[in-house]
Amino acid sequence: MNSEAHVIGLGKSGIAAARLLRQEGWQVTLSDRAQSPQLAEQAATLEAEGIRVCLGASFDPASPVNLVVVSPGVPWDVPALNEARDRNLEVIGEAELAWRYLKDRPWVGITGTNGKTTTTALTAAIFQASGCTAIACGNIGYAACEVALLSQVPDWIIAELSSYQIEASSTLAPKIGLWTTFTPDHLARHRTLHNYFRIKASLLHRSEQVILNGDDPYLRENAPEHFPHAHWTSVHGAAAIAPLTPLATVENGWVTIQSEAIVPVQHLRMTGAHNQQNLLMAVAAAHLAGLAPEAIARGVAEFPGVPHRLEQIGTRQGITWINDSKATNYDAAEVGLRAVAAPVILIAGGEAKEGDDTAWIAQIRQRAARVLLIGSAAPAFADRLKSAGYTDYEIVETMAKAVARSAAIAPELGVSTVLLSPACASFDQYPNFEARGDHFRQLCQALSAE
């Protein structure tokens, strides 16, 4: 008798998990509380593949199943999942399922509040330049289970793993684990900073080798006691992080691995000190994987950058349009503002998150000639800016109005940069930050066409 599995969430991860289980002989039900014509179309395709789909339905923990697989967007502690565990049902995340079918391959597991997407994409590019088949997956590119479905399994799995994915993956153990940054985020889900840290740290505890960002204040203060044998990185040189053990540092404009110059920093076509730190972590991972220095340098030089992360859309009448839609919290948006030429017109807003906006507000006061506010957070952001003594803001509500308004006022303000860096999630107006960034890009390109 075939085992029965229930997959929760009809997104990319859930669909990939359902297909992998079905391929392995499971009887699979996939459910999603939402209903829409697009979901109905996807459901019909999956039904034709032998996967039962229930739209507008929630998981029933009394269901006669052997395994429950949870998509990353589903909170790990909802009552139905807690009851399922009480009933001794096995409950895992989609990344954990992928690990069970791919653990014969070495993984690079990359986590952090910010920086993990760029680091993951760059790491994969460097591995590919060395001749490895390496695929970026997890929270970027392929869903992890999609990799397990490929006809040719790659040499290396380069996985961006969010806290949501880590807390649902109790045995996933990378060969190399990277922790890029740590600042308050996702506290509405994880509740406390300690719990958020504990979840992130669990991935690194299971990693054979650990790489940590020595320039991150929280990690530098709190991580050494947890990871006494970690390798550390710093854009300020080895001396700046003593007595920590440096592996990759910037020395005289070069990325250096234990005193060996690997590649000039300027060969990375991405701006900002934070991207130099991402570069160090990717190079450190490649070094620990045994890749040749010349291949590492070639991978860095050929890397084009990451969509939605300080992505230059183009220049129109002397105005450069930059898509930083991936900046979904205050810390990422503050880094984005620091990385571009001032003064700027900033487009911000969306679905607000908890966090400390002090540094972000300070950068706005220093570098923004005007702030155009969109989405549900716009009124609250306007009040916050006003209380901080910044009054050069407008509530424009939508992305289309923000782009049009930016084009109209940039010449009179003497501004040469328009930056979308929302400091918010996208779910009030878009299904994800990629859709938000794509819409921004389309609007900017339409301006150029005009």
**79-137 tens-digit pLDDT:** 999 999 999 999 999 999 999 999 999 999 999 988 999 999 999 999 999 999 999 99
For a pLDDT cut of 70, what percent of the chain falls above it? 97
- Phi, psi at 344, each rounded to 5°: -130, 155
**Are residue 383 and residue 411 in the same domain, yes or no?**
yes
For a pLDDT cut of 90, what percent of the chain falls above it? 84
**Are residue 247 and residue 263 in the same domain, yes or no?**
yes
Q: Give the CATH number, domain containing residue 175.
A: 3.40.1190.10
- pLDDT (0 to 100) of residue 202: 97
C-alpha dihedral, 312 to 314 to 317 to 319, nearest 10°: -10
Examine the pLDDT at 2 and tell me if it is beyond 60.
no
- pLDDT (0 to 100) of residue 414: 95
Token duo for residue 387? 């209380």
How confident is the model over 5-22, as pLDDT tens digits?
999 999 999 999 999 999
Examine the pLDDT at 1 and tell me if it is beyond 50.
no
Q: Give the Cα separation of 402 and 440 in Å (integer).
A: 9
How confident is the model over 326-338, as pLDDT tens digits?
999 998 899 899 9
**Are residue 271 and residue 320 in the same domain, yes or no?**
no
Token duo for residue 330? 């205050």
> Which of the listed residues 28, 59, 88 is the one where a domain comes to its end?
88
> Which of the listed residues 285, 302, 319 is the one where a domain comes to its end?
302
Residue ranges making up the domain that contains 111: 96-302
**Are residue 183 and residue 245 in the same domain, yes or no?**
yes
**Are residue 249 and residue 108 in the same domain, yes or no?**
yes
- pLDDT (0 to 100) of residue 270: 85
**Are residue 268 and residue 139 in the same domain, yes or no?**
yes
C-alpha distances in angstroms, 55 versus 137, 218, 402? Answer: 27, 42, 35
C-alpha distances in angstroms, 288 versus 73, 122, 133? Answer: 32, 15, 17
Examine the pLDDT at 186 and tell me if it is beyond 60.
no
Examine the pLDDT at 185 and tell me if it is beyond 60.
no
**Are residue 292 and residue 430 in the same domain, yes or no?**
no
> Which of the listed residues 88, 117, 137 is the one where a domain comes to its end?
88
* Residues 263-284, mean pLDDT to the nearest whole number: 92
**Are residue 135 and residue 276 in the same domain, yes or no?**
yes
Among the listed residues 350, 318, 319, 314, the one whose alpha carbon sits nearest the alpha carbon of residue 332? 350
Examine the pLDDT at 190 and tell me if it is beyond 60.
no
Number of domains making up the chain: 3
C-alpha dihedral, 404 to 407 to 413 to 419, nearest 10°: 90
**Are residue 101 and residue 207 in the same domain, yes or no?**
yes
**Are residue 372 and residue 233 in the same domain, yes or no?**
no
Mean pLDDT of the chain: 94
Residues 378, 350 contacting (CB under 8 angstroms) = no
* Residues 413-431, mean pLDDT to the nearest whole number: 95
**Are residue 221 and residue 124 in the same domain, yes or no?**
yes
How confident is the model over 319-328, as pLDDT tens digits?
999 999 999 9
**Are residue 379 and residue 244 in the same domain, yes or no?**
no
How confident is the model over 126-168, as pLDDT tens digits?
999 999 999 999 988 899 999 999 999 899 999 999 999 999 9
- pLDDT (0 to 100) of residue 74: 87
Examine the pLDDT at 431 and tell me if it is beyond 50.
yes
Q: Give the CATH number, domain containing residue 20.
A: 3.40.50.720
- pLDDT (0 to 100) of residue 111: 97
Token duo for residue 112? 């952090």
Q: Give the CATH number, domain containing residue 420.
A: 3.90.190.20
